[in-house]
Amino acid sequence: MDKLITIAEFNNTYDIKYNLLIDMLEQADIPYILSNQNARTVEFYVVSPSNMAIEVKVYEDRLKESMEIVKSIQ
């Protein structure tokens, strides 16, 4: 089974780079997983740790092309 690798972290879902990365991964047909997305979205209602970032993860076999996308938006 492929290992998941974190390729980027964001503080909220309103970050333009976050949205751009997700769109570009989808266009490249690269599957991804989001961690902690709900915890950061509901921070107004529930006290969540401020250091809990939204993590974008991809499978190890797609890491190289995913990192090219990350570098292109930085």
pLDDT tens for 4-57 read 999 999 988 888 999 999 999 999 999 999 988 765 444 444 454 556 789 999
pTM of the model: 0.79
- Residue 58's DSSP bridge partners are 5, 32
φ, ψ of residue 72 in degrees (nearest 5): -70, -25
14 CB-near residues (< 8 Å, 6+ apart): none
If one looks up domain 4-73 in CATH, what number appears? 3.30.70
To the nearest 10°, report the CA torsion of 50, 51, 54, 60. -170
φ, ψ of residue 5 in degrees (nearest 5): -120, 135
- Would you call 55 helix, strand, or coil by DSSP? strand
